[in-house]
Every structure is written in structure tokens, then in C-alpha cells.
């Protein structure tokens, strides 16, 4: 089981909170599509034994590509790799790109899952975050998309300083009313070197409040679970049958090939990451070089990653796997580190798996970090 991630490094405008890799200069879009196709060719040997279950267009904003460009890239994947008969093919899309015409075209393409960056249905939040769409576009694109796509996910952001609990509840209720089967929801985080950080430092925007984010998170879990969603990963909620196959494979440590500037790859042993600069990426690919750095993960790295991802998901951390794959020393260390948190009700063990309790869920990354190893191997 494996997948391909394709990073489309362009956005119409920079959202104030974003630190992903993208450029607002679309001048190199055509050259980028050709380079992505060439990288697919250059790396096909890496995945010659693999069957692709998922193809994922992320970004940046993949919906800035026209449908012909998207089809060209998917065609290149099919011609160079083995793809299962019913793959999940996701396109991240922003509401301002999803006109009726575009949705109709996409519905005729192999794309079978849309992940729409709604973030909020309210103008005030969207303006504060400098999103390229407005609240009307946020609503209209879901109504339109639902006519053509069954598998739709929307992204929502909570913990926004100007967002009251009432407005957060209204956001969730709108999402539920649209009947989408999957919701990804993240707390607003203040990343270094973003406009949001500058505005907060200058006192133009109130600081992000962790307590507000935690309240919003608990409201989210309560409302979505009551509506039949499963919180299968801290930030992801799906109706049965609608979990993201791409993300699930990633959390379960499956192999993936990351194509495009800043994309990461994992082959079970090594992690690679492409240069996060469009010009350098294009130049290297034009010279048949891979602009990638690679590190071999140590046993400790792999243990730490498994703890981090395992605790974020409903599948938990298998104590048996820890013992078999990492050995008794790691197993004993984990149980020792976990014991206090189990006593405090933040973690629990069931059927030989370690899970984060509802009380600990919002804090799961910090809890995982306390279970990490620094130097056993
Ligand atoms: S559209 Fe997405 S990738 Fe682009 S700036 Fe906004 S959050 Fe970042």
C-alpha cells in the first residue's frame, strides 16, 4: 500500500497564517507542470514494486491548475506507475477556484475526492486570515460540488482570536447542514515569519489563546461525534467509509513518494524532502537532478514517529509492535514513561494498545513528546 503526493506550489494570495511552500507568481505554472511530470519519470524506479492506492494533489493550491494540467499529471502517473483499479485521487481546492464549470470538468477527470479549504463560513474570519474567498463562495462551492462529488472533505480552522464560541458552533453547524462526509479541522497556529505573527507582535490582532482553541476543539469533537463522525485522527473526522485513504496510509507508516518543491517522501527506511524553492526545483529537474535531501531514520526516529502518529489516531500504539519491531528496552521505556499519564487519566491501555483519552486528546502531541526516546539506539 503506497501513495503519491504532488505538491502544487502556487497560491493566488498569501493567507496570513500560512508557512507552507508556495509562490504567488504563477508565471512558472506551465514549466512546473512539465517538471512535475519529469520528476515522476526520474523517480519511477523507486516505486517499481509498488501499487499506488492514492494520488493526492496538495499545496499550495492545486485548484489553480486547469483541468487539462491536472489530467496531464494524472496521465503521467498512470503511464509510469502501477495504480490499483479504484484509487483515491484527491484534489485540494479553494472555493474561489470552484466555479460550476470547473467542478463539472473535474467531475469528468479521474479526481474522485475534493478537499475544500473553507476554513470559515464567516467574512470576518476569512478577512482576518486573508483568504482569497468570501463567505458566499464558501457556501456556494459546497452546494455545487455535492452535485458531482460524493467524497468531499472541508477544512475548518478554530481558535481564531476574533472567533467567539457561538461563531465556531455556527461554523460547525453549517458544515453539518451541508452534509459533507469528512471534516479536517486545525487550531490556528502562529508560525514564525508569517504576517499573523507580525500583526500579533505589533498588537494589531489579539494573540492566539490556547484555552480558546481547547474549548473549540472539545465543542468540535462533541458536535461531530454526535452527528456520526469518527474522530479517526486528532484533526480529522470522517463518516464510516470516508476516512482519507491517503492520510490513513501516512499515519500508518506506509510508503509515499512526494513530487514537487518541498514535498516529502518516505520509503519505510529513509525520509526525503525536496527543495522548497520553485526556481531551484525547476533548475535541478531540467538538469535531470533530484533536488532532494535524504536521511536514514534510526530505530529511535522510527519509534518516536510511531508514538507521535499512533497516539494521534484511533488505532493507537500497539505495545506488541513496539516489542517486536523495537525490542524489550523500548517497550519497557514506553510503559515506564506512560505510567504517570495513565494514572492521570491522559492515556489508557486497551487490548494491548496505548491510546490518548478524551481528556488528553487536545494535548496529544505534548503527551507523545514525553514518551519519545532520545538515544537508546
Ligand atoms: S491557500 Fe493554503 S497554501 Fe496557499 S497561502 Fe493559503 S493556507 Fe497557505
313-347 pLDDT per residue, tens: 999 999 999 999 999 999 999 999 999 999 999 99
Site to probe by mutation for ligand 1, drawn from 10, 16, 59, 118 as the one with most ligand atoms within 8 Å of Cβ, is: 59
Q: According to the model, what pLDDT value does residue 1 have?
A: 73
- Strands in the chain per DSSP E: 2-8, 51-59, 82-93, 113-119, 152-158, 182-187, 230-233, 236-238, 255-259, 264-266, 270-274, 292-296, 317-318, 347-350, 353-356
Question: Does residue 8 contact residue 64 with C-beta atoms inside 8 Å?
Answer: yes
Q: According to the model, what pLDDT value does residue 95 have?
A: 98
- Order across the sheet with 2-8: list the strands: 230-233, 236-238, 182-187, 152-158, 113-119, 82-93, 51-59, 2-8, 255-259, 264-266, 270-274, 292-296
Determine if ligand 1 sits within 6 Å of the CB of residue 15: yes
Ligand 1 atom at minimal distance to the Cα of residue 129: 6
Determine if ligand 1 sits within 6 Å of the CB of residue 326: no
Give the phi and the psi of residue 163 in degrees, each rounded to 5.
Answer: -95, 115
Ligand 1 atom at minimal distance to the Cα of residue 60: 3
Determine if ligand 1 sits within 6 Å of the CB of residue 95: no
Residue 162 has pLDDT above 90, yes or no: no
Question: Does residue 41 contact residue 292 with C-beta atoms inside 8 Å?
Answer: no
- Order across the sheet with 353-356: list the strands: 317-318, 353-356, 347-350
Residue 377 has pLDDT above 60, yes or no: no
Identify which of 55, 49, 88 has the alpha carbon closest to the alpha carbon of residue 259. 55
Question: Across all residues in the chain, what is the average pLDDT?
Answer: 96
Residue 126 has pLDDT above 50, yes or no: yes
Q: Ligand 1 atom 3: the closest Cα is on which residue? A: 60
Amino acid at each position: 500500500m503506497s501513495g503519491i503526493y504532488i505538491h502544487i506550489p502556487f497560491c493566488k494570495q498569501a493567507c496570513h497564517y500560512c508557512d507552507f511552500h508556495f509562490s504567488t507568481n504563477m508565471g512558472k505554472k506551465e514549466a512546473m507542470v512539465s517538471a512535475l511530470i519529469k520528476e515522476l519519470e526520474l523517480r519511477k524506479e523507486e516505486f517499481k514494486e509498488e501499487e499506488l492506492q492514492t494520488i493526492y494533489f496538495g499545496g499550495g493550491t492545486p485548484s489553480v491548475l486547469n483541468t487539462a494540467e491536472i489530467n496531464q499529471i494524472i496521465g503521467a502517473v498512470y503511464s509510469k506507475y502501477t495504480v490499483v483499479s479504484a484509487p483515491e485521487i484527491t484534489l485540494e481546492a479553494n472555493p474561489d477556484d470552484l466555479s460550476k464549470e470547473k467542478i463539472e470538468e473535474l467531475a469528468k477527470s479521474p479526481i474522485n475526492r475534493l478537499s475544500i479549504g473553507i476554513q470559515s463560513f464567516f467574512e470576518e474570519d476569512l478577512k482576518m486570515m486573508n483568504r482569497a474567498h468570501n463567505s458566499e463562495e464558501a457556501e456556494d462551492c459546497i452546494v455545487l460540488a455535492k452535485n458531482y462529488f460524493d467524497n468531499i472533505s472541508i477544512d475548518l480552522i478554530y481558535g481564531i482570536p476574533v472567533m467567539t464560541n457561538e461563531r465556531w458552533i455556527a461554523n460547525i453547524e453549517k458544515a453539518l447542514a451541508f452534509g459533507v462526509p469528512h471534516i479536517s479541522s486545525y487550531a490556528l497556529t502562529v508560525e514564525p515569519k508569517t504576517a499573523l505573527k507580525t500583526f500579533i507582535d505589533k498588537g494589531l490582532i489579539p494573540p492566539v489563546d490556547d484555552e480558546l482553541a481547547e474549548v473549540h476543539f472539545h465543542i468540535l469533537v462533541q458536535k461531530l461525534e454526535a452527528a456520526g463522525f469518527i474522530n479517526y485522527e486528532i484533526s480529522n473526522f470522517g463518516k464510516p467509509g470516508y476516512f482519507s485513504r491517503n492520510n490513513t496510509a501516512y499515519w500508518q507508516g506506509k510508503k509515499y513518494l512526494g513530487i514537487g518543491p518541498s514535498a516529502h517522501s518516505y520509503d519505510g527506511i529513509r525520509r526525503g524532502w525536496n527543495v522548497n524553492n520553485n526556481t531551484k526545483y525547476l533548475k535541478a529537474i531540467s538538469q535531470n537532478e533530484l533536488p532532494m535531501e535524504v536521511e536514514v531514520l534510526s530505530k529511535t526516529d522510527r519509534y518516536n514517529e510511531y508514538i507521535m502518529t499512533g497516539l494521534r489516531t484511533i488505532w493507537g500504539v500497539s505495545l506488541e509492535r513496539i516489542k517486536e519491531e523495537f525490542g524489550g528496552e523500548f517497550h519497557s521505556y514506553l510503559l515506564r514513561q506512560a505510567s504517570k499519564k495513565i494514572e492521570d487519566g491522559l492515556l489508557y491501555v486497551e487490548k494491548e494498545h496505548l491510546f490518548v483519552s478524551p481528556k488528553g486528546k487536545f494535548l496529544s502531541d505534548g503527551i507523545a513528546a514525553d514518551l519519545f526516546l532520545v538515544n537508546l539506539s
